Structure 1
């Protein structure tokens, strides 16, 4: 029987055995040898707490079942060879000397992987005379979907390199890997990241979300058994263009960082009366050609989002613990409204996904990730999931948008060796 029009397409999630086998097969085809092992790291979905990690705020992500698999073997000549089958096509391997890895080198996806090794060497967690690696990558995390495909790549390779060249990391060492992977993305790739993605990829636990307080530098597992409540979290990858390296993410973060710095603080959360400081900073930093009143309003709304999102996230954590999913859904919707109207990081596709989900019975919905495309999430009754997905697919077709992809999100474990 043929598939009905606009039937929703779901992203796969390979288990340990299948992912390890596929990564090892890619390794053999590319390099003509067997890998020393296969490591996997998950994508993530952030339930709430968006664009606040770099402001010292509070976030609530969980790790996805969709993962990136890295088959790896050590070398002895100080070089890296990297190959992937992103987009279903095997490209020619990227080859680079470890000594040549640094800001902007190598370019593209290989920079995330090579950077995760470079940053560990720079921190003294891997030897300076490291022999190098052959690395083959296959992934179920949608690239450009705002589900942290970049951190999944960084963390799978970082963990593999650590275990092959040093030792299996304890929790403290995993936390250093978080820092290394952040540095890879910030310095080698040149994409601003606040650390949420790397933290959940390395520290996530099955069945839980991770409440991360970036101001206090603490995190706590929060049970997240949606199935017991008859609910599912539907992820909608809008397939709208999404890139954090194009300056939009950095421009939002730049305002928040500048207001904090002008107040003499490292992050906005440390600032007393942040709105007053935002007004003062805005008055002295009007961009050329910008109306001063309009600029002041923009800065107020940017800072206002961070403040209100922290309040919402604190409330949402309590709602999740109490099983108040109706209240949790309301917090999700309020978060999306703030991201759309005050932080201005949504887009037509994200708004359509959220609005359609709510019109078809979702308890709550919001964009997730950095925005400007990427994914939305909807908290739905399990029996309604396919209906909601179908309605969104139909709405996208009617609007002339690229067909979205879907996945049913399950709180899963963090990075580990799988083969």
Structure 2
């Protein structure tokens, strides 16, 4: 029996690099996404076709990750077998309109969609979407070797376009929130691609782990800035910790502002978040900084880098009635950038 499933991309409105440090994050589901058609087979072969690639891939369930575009699919099928949804390989057809290297969680959307398609193929009611998200994270961490947190998988497994998810990554409690009326979050690609496996994302996680080991806590975001400043940690580790502590508080302020319809505070928190990512977490690059500055200068209420960093996209909060003129002016000032979608 063939199973079919879809999963959206996500944009993180605020709360970067704190989902593996005990913080609260605020991702939103996007209209772009991944769809998967999956047909189980009786042996361990894996055959994958994808509309973003010219060729198909033939793999085995026993294959380790080799840095190929098909790795995520193999890892997801291995997890589907571990969950008892499948007892072998599969033929998978993938369609996606999420730009690769944009920081919009194409990998998480793919693994979630494959696991949901496997569940649908056998007509199972379990695992539920939350367990699917946790399993998809295992694919990223254990098979692909990406030390990500749980945010991306939760957002694409549970949230729907038009909503944001306030997710406490320590407890996994979440709340779905409506996005503000008469305003839109615009996602623009900087023109600089990024890849989480290039090592810099891992470096940041290692630095955060140093802080957690020093203070003997997994909840880095609950630390006080004074304690960080007084520590004997090296300067880079202190700055990473300051970002996490202040970013967590910015997310909480943004959630409260979203509930109150206070778009000015939302924009101010986004702007402060970008400064922290640029200066304390050192995860931005010059084209991103320029794009954020232009976005704000040309009328966005707030703008920031979104995703794992070192390239990819920005997200900007713009009044709906001014969006088209604003977007034309921003893209005119940055020829390498392009519009991706809205949240």
- For Structure 1 versus Structure 2, the TM-score category normalised by the shorter chain is over 0.9
Instruction: Specify the alignment match of 2:5 in structure 1.
Output: 39
Query: CA separation of 1:177/1:278 partners in 2, compared to 1, >3 Å: closer, same or farther?
Result: farther
Matches within 5 A, 1:174-323: 174-224=129-179, 226=180, 228=181, 230-269=182-221, 272-273=223-224, 276=227, 280=231, 282=233, 296-323=234-261
Give the Cα–Cα distance (whole angstroms) in 1 for the partners of residues 160 and 35 of structure 2: 18
Helix, strand or coil for the counterpart of 2:14?
coil
User: How far is the alpha carbon of 1:261 from its aligned partner?
Assistant: 2.2
Task: Say if 2:166 and 2:255, in contact at 8 Å, map to a contact too.
Answer: yes
Give the Cα–Cα distance (whole angstroms) in 1 for the partners of residues 4 and 228 of structure 2: 49
User: How far is the alpha carbon of 1:277 from its aligned partner?
Assistant: 5.8
Between structure 1 and structure 2, the one with the greater Rg is: 1
Instruction: Specify the alignment match of 2:110 in structure 1.
Output: 153
Q: Please, what TM-score do these two structures have when normalized by structure 1?
A: 0.78
2:76 to 102, 116, 127: 116
Structure 1: 5+ residue stretches without partners: 1-34, 283-295, 398-402, 411-419
2:14 to 48, 59, 64: 48
Corresponding residue pairs, total: 343
Structure 2: 5+ residue stretches without partners: none
User: How far is the alpha carbon of 1:301 from its aligned partner?
Assistant: 1.2
The question of 1:137 aligning with 2:94 is answered yes
Query: CA separation of 1:168/1:404 partners in 2, compared to 1, >3 Å: closer, same or farther?
Result: farther
Task: Say if 1:145 and 1:374, in contact at 8 Å, map to a contact too.
Answer: yes
User: How far is the alpha carbon of 1:281 from its aligned partner?
Assistant: 5.6
Task: Say if 1:126 and 1:166, in contact at 8 Å, map to a contact too.
Answer: no
Q: Please, what TM-score do these two structures have when normalized by structure 2?
A: 0.94
Query: CA separation of 1:278/1:149 partners in 2, compared to 1, >3 Å: closer, same or farther?
Result: farther
1:57 to 19, 23, 28: 23
Task: Say if 1:259 and 1:281, in contact at 8 Å, map to a contact too.
Answer: no
User: How far is the alpha carbon of 1:68 from its aligned partner?
Assistant: 0.8
The question of 1:343 aligning with 2:300 is answered no
Q: C-alpha offsets along residues 61-88 of structure 1, whole Å, 9 cap, x if unaligned?
A: 11101011112212112221111121xx
Query: CA separation of 1:281/1:126 partners in 2, compared to 1, >3 Å: closer, same or farther?
Result: farther
Task: Say if 1:215 and 1:269, in contact at 8 Å, map to a contact too.
Answer: no
